[in-house]
Amino acid sequence: MKPDRSQKRLGKSDLMVGPISYGHWRLAEGTSAEAGDKTRAALDAGMTMIDTASIYGYPDFGAAEALFGEVLKAEPSLRDKIVLATKAGIYPPTPYDCTPDKIIETCEDCLRRLNTDVIDLFYIHRPDMLTPHADVSEGLMRLVEAGKVKEIAVSNYTPSMFAALQSKLDRPLIANQVEFSPLHQDPVWDGTLDQCQQYDATLIAWSPLGGGDLMTQDATEDSQAGKIAAALDAVAARNGVDRGAAALAFTMITNPEIVPIIGTQRVSRIAEANKALDVEMTRDEYYNIVVAWRGVGLP
């Protein structure tokens, strides 16, 4: 088994993206010149979806978007080459507010910071327990109707939250962006991946390397993470790649419609991520990673 390297359609939309995406959670750690270098490296590697959020850069709220806005201002031709995704709904220390006016105001701020007229993919970043789904729907629909966003999606929604919000919308949620990696395999078991297939929505996998934890894990340690690292190292050694490529391949092999978002801030590692697309994994090797995560064998 190998990752499917073809372009992916996001949900039922017309948005097409490369098999791996590039995320901006950590972007504000660097300068705008560095942000430009990372963007060009991502595009050169075929990572056409750029994933940011209004909260990225916190405590400097909006800093990642503002930095990327500088890149887009300096090089406007980049805008048409990317699928630009951003998110709203998290406002520390509140922490969440998905009322229609707040979401709309945040989206308008996103547009201004990003120096763009439209967001290709706009997410509710996390569910807000205090806002009924009908109200979240109203905010999202007003943004679509105003032409400020092309497509809508959610992040960190449980399957029942996703279904409830979808039932209040006149257009499809095209994705659920959730944590998924060899270290966090819950989306396969809690109904999230099944629901994405049922609704033709895309499962977008954040932190596919466990936010870096997988890379620094001691594979000889007698722990869940140690055993996962060892199972990944076996695949990596056979393919002549590092553990990160094996982990990234695991997310894509799980289902050809899963799109992982990597978050390295090193230009060299952005290009190297594509090595994951050539990783070959046997069923035995795949299930060894699943069993290492479960802690018990499969029946």
Closest residue to ligand NAP: CB criterion: 263
Q: For residues 230 and 299, which CB has a smaller minimum distance to ligand NAP in the complex?
A: 230
Q: How far apart are CA 209 and CA 211, in angstroms?
A: 5
DSSP 53-81: -TTTTTTSTTHHHHHHHHHHHH-GGGGGG
Q: Between 158 and 265, name the residue whose CB sits nearer to ligand NAP.
A: 265
Q: Which residues bind ligand NAP (CB under 6 A)?
A: 23-26, 51, 155-156, 177, 206-212, 215-216, 242, 244, 261-266, 269
Closest CB 100 distance from ligand NAP, rounded Å: 21
Which tokens is 106 given?
Answer: 């945040």
Catalytic residue check, 56:
yes
Q: For strands 8-9 and 21-23, give the pairing.
A: unpaired
Neighbours of 140 (CB within 10 A): 29
- Active-site residue, from 22, 56, 96, 157: 56
- Among residues 33 and 146, whose Cβ is nearest to ligand NAP? 33
How many angstroms separate the first and last alpha carbons of the chain?
Answer: 22
- Please state, as a whole number, how many other Cβ atoms lie within 10 Å of the Cβ of residue 184: 18
Helices and strands (DSSP H and E) totals, the chain: 12, 10
Question: In this complex, which beta carbon is closest to ligand NAP, that of residue 78 or of residue 175?
Answer: 175
Least Å distance between CB 241 and ligand NAP? 11
How far apart are CB 297 and ligand NAP at their closest, in Å?
A: 27
Least separation, in Å, of the C-beta of 299 and ligand NAP? 30
Catalytic annotation, residues:
56
